[in-house]
Amino acid sequence: MTWSWDSFFEYMFSYYMLQGAWTTIWLSVVSMVIGCSLGFVAALMKMSKNPVLRGIADFYVWLWRGTPLLVQLVIIYAGLPQIGIRLGVIESAILGLAVNEGAYFAEIVRAGIMSVDRGQNDAARALGMDYRRLMRIVILPQATRVIIPPLGNQFNGMLKTSSLASVISMEELLRHAQQLAQIEFRVLEVYIVAAIGYLIMTSVWGAIQKRIEAHYDKPFGGSVQGVAAASMPR
């Protein structure tokens, strides 16, 4: 069977494939938001003085980073029903992707917080700041600069990693490509369209990420000239 340009362009703009791409996008966004929330909590637990909280966070990160995401998805979807826990395809996909992402994001947040100079922590404490104000006003704004680039890369990876959810029948882009290839017998055309779809999504996100990084790369406070002018006597 030879290459068919007609089939290629038909699949490229078909509603069925576009629907799969949209599912990939919202699945990645939802999983990323939940995963970042879990990761942030896990990072704070890992830096806690409480050994129990540290132990729980360390075990969580060790377990979910040390096992393949594909295996995790299969266990959640097909294994948990054996112990009475039944989740649908969408719930299983979101849970697997989010919990896995949280384990990686926890280390990103921890590294970002630890990158802030310890002296600023001590100075804020000396001014009477409690832990919440310290994190909100002093630590997190500076840690964000360190967190944003790898976080953006993680979401870029999530757009592609979400394709693993096709194994548990999640109707995302790759799953739609698989089903279309089985029906039409145009394997090369269909999978190249799927690859282009992922490439477009990651390229668009790459442009967005550059703008976000440029925004957070701006210096804190005013310029040197502004500070000097404000400090001059009138």
- Number of separate domains in the chain: 1
pTM of the model: 0.85
Task: Please give the pLDDT value at position 104.
Answer: 95
Confirm whether 182 is domain-assigned. yes
Does the pLDDT of residue 234 top 90, yes or no? no
Q: 176 is in which domain, residue-wise?
A: 5-229
DSSP state of 48: -
Weakest mean pLDDT among 18-27, 86-95, 139-148, 188-197? 139-148
Domain containing residue 15: CATH number: 1.10.3720.10
Tell me what the mean pLDDT of segment 67-96 comes to.
95
Does the pLDDT of residue 230 top 80, yes or no? no
Task: Please give the pLDDT value at position 146.
Answer: 86
**Burial status of residue 162 (CB atoms within 10 A of its CB: 0-12, 13-18, 19 or more):** buried
| Confidence band of 1 (pLDDT split at 50, 70, 90) | low
Region of 127 please: left (phi>0), alpha (psi -120 to 50) or beta.
alpha
Task: Please give the pLDDT value at position 138.
Answer: 77
Task: Please give the pLDDT value at position 65.
Answer: 94
- What percent of the chain clears pLDDT 70, i.e. is strictly above it? 92
Instruction: Give the orientation angle of helix 89-114 with respect to helix 140-161, to 10 degrees.
Output: 150
Confirm whether 82 is domain-assigned. yes
User: Do residues 167 and 95 make contact, with C-beta atoms less than 8 angstroms apart?
Assistant: no
DSSP letter string over 150-202? HHHHHHHHHHHHGGGGGGGT--SHHHHHHHHHHHH--HHHHHHHHHHHHHHHH
Give the span between the Cα atoms of 220 and 69, in whole angstroms: 39
What digits encode the pLDDT tens for the residues 173-218? 999 999 999 998 889 999 999 999 999 999 999 999 999 888 877 7
The pair of structure tokens assigned to 218 is 């701006």
Give the span between the Cα atoms of 215 and 208, in whole angstroms: 11
Does the pLDDT of residue 225 top 50, yes or no? no
Tell me what the mean pLDDT of segment 86-101 comes to.
96
Task: Please give the pLDDT value at position 184.
Answer: 87
Tell me what the mean pLDDT of segment 153-160 comes to.
94
The pair of structure tokens assigned to 148 is 């944003």
Confirm whether 234 is domain-assigned. no
Confirm whether 122 is domain-assigned. yes
